[in-house]
Structure formats: structure tokens, C-alpha cells
Amino acid sequence: MTLGFHMPNGYAGAGRRGAARIAALAEELGYDSLWTADHVVLPSPRVEPSPLEPGAPLLDAVVSLAFLAAHTERILLATGCVVLPQRDPLVLAKQLASVDVLSGGRLVFGAVAGYLEPELRALGVPLEGRGERTAEYLRAMRALWEQDEPAFHGRYVSFEGVDAHPRPLGRVPVVMGGHTRAAHRRAAELADGWYGWMLGLRAAAAQVESVRAEAAAAGTTPHVSVTPARPLDPGTVRAYADAGVDRLILAHRPGLSLAEVEDFLRRNAPDRLLA
């Protein structure tokens, strides 16, 4: 079991001093990863199921990783998770490869099909077909990152006779988010891991069971990350581990001050919860 920290790019982290301090402290305390949240736009006024108020300060997920890379040395830097259908896959592949190079190979690419219809609509992406689009975009990005002569032809993206350098320093780990069976299947078939958001113990166990079933059918063994929906202590951490969770990605309630975020990081530090 390892511990990560979610949304260093929001609220107290949505500024130069806060983002740098949160990243450095998380690395100092032994967290294994930082996961940036992603919403390009938010519904205004807020409507369900939007997770944030429209005025919530949230830096761009990928730009933030480049800044966090400059203020850390070892901690993994992850998108948690980019809403992939609403991004141009070639532009995103270039941005993420740049982060990987500048961070010394510390990138983890977390992606999700998305669920917030007003955001998707504003960016010109229909809710229907977003899962298929997500899978295709990921395959296209892999082609640009990994093929000697990149080429891809699909329904939503098609290219050949182009290239992009520098490439990522190694194979970029991909984590697929989402709580549906289709998302579990994408994680098992296309990714290296799966990410579940705000899950209690019973919900986490049920989700992991479904992920493992899809993985067994695909012949893979995805890494499992979960943001817990309850406060943690060493016993609760062990219970998540027993449910099949490999990494807990901690998230605090919105709107904390920088001092409160620092206190949260210290109270939930790995040397306390993983004892």
C-alpha cells in the first residue's frame, strides 16, 4: 500500500506559493504521488453532478504537473483524471510527453471518459460515445509515444506521416478511472491501473471485484488506486488493502487554507497510516 494526494492544483494549491509548498511537503512526508484534478470549465450556476462550484479555483491539470515537477525530485506526478474525450489527443500526448521529460520520467497518465454533460457540451463533445472516444484517443496517444513511425486511423482521430519528439523517457503508466463495468473493462484491456473516486470500504471491494473480473478475462493485473470516502487510520488502511487496493489517494474537503492542507498532509502522512 502507498499513499498519494489529490488536487494539489486546487484551492490552496491554485497559486504559486501553495502549489510549491504542497508538492514539496508531500514529497518530504513520503507520499508516493500527486494527482491533479481536471475540469476545463464548470457549470454556472452549479448543477448536479458537478463536484465543484463554478468559482472554485482549479489550475489546468497538465500545466500544473510541469510546475510541480520543478519543485520536486522523486514523487510521481499524475493526472487524476484528465477527461480524455474533451482533449485533442495529439496535443495532449505532446504536453504529457513534455511533462515526463521535464520530470525525469515521473509521469502517470490518469484518464476518464467523463460524466459532466455541460462541460463536455461546451467543449463540443457529445455525452454519447465518450467511452469509445476515450479508448480510441488513448490508442492514438500510445501510437504517437511508442511507434517508430507513428500512424493511427480511427473513427475520431486519424494521422500518419507525422512524428513528435522528445518521446516520454519510458512507457507511461496509464490509469483509467470510472465506476462502470465499461470503465473497468477499459482499465483491464487498455491501461496499467484503475482509479476509483470517493469509495467506502464496501463500495471499494465491489468495484475491485469487478475490475479483477474484467482483468481476468483480459489476462492482465491492473494496479488499483482509490480515493477513500472516509477518514483514515492504520486499521482502515489495512482494510482497504485487504479489499485489493494498492494505493489510497487522499482528498480533503474543498476550500481548506494552505495551513489546513499542510496539517491534513501531516496527520495522514505515510509514516502514521502505514505503520
| The CA-based dihedral angle spanning residues 76, 227, 36, 261, taken in that order and rounded to the nearest 10 degrees | -90
Hey, what amino acid is at 42?
L
The residues that bridge with 223 in the sheet, in sequence order, are 193
How far apart are the C-alpha atoms of 156 and 90, rounded to whole Å? 12
For residue 216, the model assigns a pLDDT of: 98
Cβ neighbours, 10 Å, residue 197: 20
Work out the pLDDT band at 76, boundaries 50, 70, 90.
very high
For residue 51, the model assigns a pLDDT of: 93
For residue 245, the model assigns a pLDDT of: 98
Hey, what amino acid is at 118?
P
Give the mean model confidence (pLDDT) for residues 17-31.
Answer: 98
Give the mean model confidence (pLDDT) for residues 200-204.
Answer: 98
- Is the pLDDT score of 275 beyond 90? no
Give the mean model confidence (pLDDT) for residues 210-239.
Answer: 98
Cβ neighbours, 10 Å, residue 241: 14
Label residue 172 exposed, middle or buried (CB < 10 Å: 0-12, 13-18, 19+): buried
| Residue 118 Cα distances to 40, 53, 86, 212, angstroms | 11, 13, 12, 32
Mean pLDDT, the chain, whole residue set: 98
Give the mean model confidence (pLDDT) for residues 238-265.
Answer: 97
Give the mean model confidence (pLDDT) for residues 135-164.
Answer: 98
For residue 269, the model assigns a pLDDT of: 98
How far apart are the C-alpha atoms of 260 and 162, rounded to whole Å? 48
- Is the pLDDT score of 66 beyond 90? yes
DSSP string covering 134-195: HHHHHHHHHHHHH-SS--EE-SS-EE-S---SSPPSSPPPEEEE-SSHHHHHHHHHH-SEEE
Contact (Cβ atoms closer than 8 angstroms) between residue 273 and residue 34:
no
